Structure 1
Amino acid sequence: MAHSLVNYDDVDPVGGGLHFLRDSLDCSNLGVSVLDVEAGWSGKAHDHADDGQEEVYVLVEGAATVTVEDETVSMSAGDALRVDPEATRQVDADADSLFVIAGAS
């Protein structure tokens, strides 16, 4: 088949409102996730140094603050943020927020 289709509501969240779509879409080196969270949600600080995955966070709805290393980045709907694999990042939802996160190694 030349395509795959999945709705993120059909994928069990792995933590809070984070839905990993990679397995459902049968992607090998491209990760796609949806993060659908309420105001006040805070993700864990992490990096992707081990897997070399660069990520792009696209904020579709809401407002959020992403801390990349020691820099605070304020995001509003429509913003896209690219993060290097080795950079530590943490997402905090300032309002009910919907992200699409794409990562590739």
Structure 2
Amino acid sequence: MPHSVVEYDDVDPVGGGRHFLHDALGCSTLGVSVLDVEAGWSGEAHDHAADGQEVYALVEGEATVTVGDETVSMSAGDALRVDPTATRRIDADADSLFVVAGAA
């Protein structure tokens, strides 16, 4: 089959709202996930030095992303690319829905 379709709600969430879709879609080289969280949710500070860069696309809501020492305010429609070695943390300022893509 030349394509794959998956409903993110059909993939069990991990870490309080993150749905890892790459396995369900059969993507071996591209990390794709959906982050569906409530206002007040905070992720853990982390980097992806071993994995590659990430792009966060905020579909709904408002969030603050801390990248290193910088704070980036995001609203629906914004996209943010983060270098692999940069430490990042997401804080949801409202109920938020992100699509996250990562690649080496």
TM-score (norm 2): 0.98
SS in structure 1 of the partner of residue 45 of structure 2:
coil
The root-mean-square deviation of aligned C-alpha atoms, in Å, is 0.6
Once the two structures are superposed, the pairs formed by residues 65-76 of structure 1 within 5 Å of their partners are 65-76=64-75
Matched with 2:63 is 64
Return the offset for 1:14. 1.1
SS in structure 2 of the partner of residue 24 of structure 1:
helix
TM-score (norm 1): 0.97
Once the two structures are superposed, the pairs formed by residues 17-56 of structure 1 within 5 Å of their partners are 17-51=17-51, 53-56=52-55
Return the offset for 1:50. 1.5
> One-letter code of the match for 1:72?
T
SS in structure 2 of the partner of residue 46 of structure 1:
coil
Matched with 2:95 is 96
CA distance in 2, matches of 1:50, 1:80: 22
Unaligned runs of 5+ in 1: none
CA distance in 1, matches of 2:47, 2:4: 28
> Number of aligned pairs?
104
SS in structure 1 of the partner of residue 9 of structure 2:
helix
Unaligned runs of 5+ in 2: none
Return the offset for 1:20. 0.3
Matched with 1:78 is 77
